[in-house]
Structure 1
């Protein structure tokens, strides 16, 4: 005796009615513009000057460092020169190069130019490292 289960039987194939598709195509013309040639130079006019490259941008130094006093990130004591101006600063625990620049009222880029021994754009400074603050003595420290 053979019994078939309804769930196991193959599905019945139903044929679908044919579908008609209508497509409308519209074509537009592409316009091609031909540039006109430049006007002829006036034979009596002066020739155009040769191009001159721009001068490099000037670098303005801010001048001597001014100690605005200890602050978070720059708590050490600066070494002063004979006239009382800050000459050198020694990095102490918790200092950052950015905060040292802020304390002495100097742009960080200028302080970096004054201290070529400082690498990584001042991101890494070490306890005991000397930072030059004398704008007339580049690379001292």
Structure 2
């Protein structure tokens, strides 16, 4: 028995010896570090020059409008009878010089054809006859159309 205890002690010593190599080596502590802080003043920023705002150039002023004189109305000369035609088959009344002075509307007449027959622009014939409405679209049998360009309605 004594020998078993001795062996157990030797075995424990050997285990302790073997295990002593398994322990971690001590960690070396680093040397102390010295930090030197230097304080520097914050520089004052230099302001960026602001461009000088110039006044905008004045808006051009349009000249006041000058009204034109009304366009002259050029009236054609006296009516000239070119003869009957479809849409203007009545007989005109002539003045002392034989120039057509008036025309009485008959069945089937149109204001446009009457203007064509007497070689007058329709607008002029309308100005000469203010009693005619709707641009000559509405004329009736028996209406008297003035053909004398020196007189109006």
TM-score interval, smaller chain: 0.5 to 0.7
**How far does the alpha carbon of each residue in 1:62-90 deviate from its partner, in whole angstroms, 9 at most, with x for none?**
12001111001000110100000000100
Deviation at 1:56, TM superposition (A): 1.6
Paired residue for 2:91? 77
> Residue 61 of structure 1 is aligned with which of 75, 80, 98?
75
Trace 1:41-60 onto structure 2 (pairs within 5 A): 51-60=65-74
CA root-mean-square deviation: 2.2
Deviation at 1:49, TM superposition (A): 7.1
SS in 2 for 1:109: helix
Paired residue for 1:99? 113
User: Quick check: 1:119 aligned with 2:133?
Assistant: yes
Hey, what's the Cα distance between the residues in 2 that align with 1:80 and 1:126?
Answer: 21
* Higher helix content, 1 or 2: 2
> Residue 110 of structure 1 is aligned with which of 124, 138, 145?
124
Paired residues, number: 98
Hey, what's the Cα distance between the residues in 1 that align with 2:103 and 2:79?
Answer: 11
SS in 2 for 1:88: strand
Hey, what's the Cα distance between the residues in 1 that align with 2:105 and 2:65?
Answer: 49
Hey, what's the Cα distance between the residues in 2 that align with 1:100 and 1:81?
Answer: 18
Hey, what's the Cα distance between the residues in 1 that align with 2:80 and 2:90?
Answer: 15
Larger CA Rg, structure 1 vs 2? 2
Paired residue for 2:26? none
SS in 1 for 2:130: coil
- Structure 1: runs of 5+ lacking an equivalent: 1-35, 42-47
TM-score (norm 2): 0.58
